[in-house]
Amino acid sequence: MKAEQEPFLQARAVRAGYSGREVLRGIDLEVRRGEVLCVAGPNGSGKSTLLRAVTGLLPLRGGEVRIGGTPLGALSAKERARRCAVQPQVEAPMFDYTVGQFVLLGRHPHRPPLAAATAQDRDAASGAMEETDLAGFGERSIRSLSSGEWQRTLLARALAQEAPLLLLDEPAAHLDPGHRFVVHTLLRSLARKQNRAVLCVSHDLNLAAEFSDRMILMTQGRVQAAGTPEEVLTEPNLREVFRCEALRVAPNPFTGRPGTFFAP
């Protein structure tokens, strides 16, 4: 791990919200190349808003975001997309594109306006489809996919973007256990082997504990706890944030990472 370099994504004292409502009230966050950061927290704690704020979808009301050392506002749209890929939450596709066409659109930031796809573009797209277990889906219509397949297609498009920073909003929400494992293993290897910076919003605390290097626990637009999974996933933290006395923490018998259980 090369954790000594400057963080690829830096957010300082970020505040943002929607019309009258302030959702993020001063968030600090850093993701370095080579590491996976998981963001957890209850519904409405501002996790998705955080992703929208650090990618420029939502204007900042305060604070600063830097991607690859450059302030977000100073990046052109395409330059931002070359540095940062996002897998959004699932929204149903309205039009009939094939999976192959869809994933290839992930190459947009690398292609001049009217250029045909190069061999490099096609390789990146087919590589991304293999990594997400979608080889052979190239000609399928995106409207014929199951929600799990569609979710992996969205991930494949973000991977085809080949950006150093990867942000994911609940990448495993619709996946079966097998594919959840595949996707999280993939995310970890993207960080380790390709030296990418990965930020993943997740409701699955056990997966987050198992596959992340660091975690952030958010509540009400603030960071409640940050650090290694062991430091963050403690019973006092979880009970306070999720307001649930039945939550218990015990080490995973196979890996020793903290596991979260209900003990009603």
Contact residues: another protein, CB under 8 A: 52, 55-57, 77-82, 84-86, 88, 91, 93-97, 101-102, 105-106, 108-109, 111, 113-114, 154, 157-158, 161
31 vs 158 by CB, closer to another protein = 158
In the complex, what is the shortest distance from the CB of residue 202 to another protein, in angstroms, rounded to a whole number?
19
In the complex, what is the shortest distance from the CB of residue 209 to another protein, in angstroms, rounded to a whole number?
27
In the complex, what is the shortest distance from the CB of residue 259 to another protein, in angstroms, rounded to a whole number?
33
DSSP secondary structure of 225-247: EEESHHHH--HHHHHHHHT-TTE
In the complex, what is the shortest distance from the CB of residue 96 to another protein, in angstroms, rounded to a whole number?
5
154 vs 216 by CB, closer to another protein = 154
Query: Helix axis angle, 147-160 relative to 177-194, nearest 10°?
Result: 10
In the complex, what is the shortest distance from the CB of residue 167 to another protein, in angstroms, rounded to a whole number?
8
46 vs 109 by CB, closer to another protein = 109
61 vs 108 by CB, closer to another protein = 108
110 vs 214 by CB, closer to another protein = 110
d(CA 124, CA 157): 10
CB atoms within 10 A of CB 90: 17
Contact (Cβ atoms closer than 8 angstroms) between residue 207 and residue 184: yes
Q: How many CA atoms lie within 13 A of 247 on its CB side?
A: 17
d(CA 17, CA 169): 18
Contact (Cβ atoms closer than 8 angstroms) between residue 242 and residue 189: no
Q: Going along the chain, which residue ranges are E strands? A: 9-18, 21-31, 36-40, 62-67, 70-71, 84-87, 165-169, 197-201, 214-219, 222-227, 247-251, 258-262
85 vs 247 by CB, closer to another protein = 85
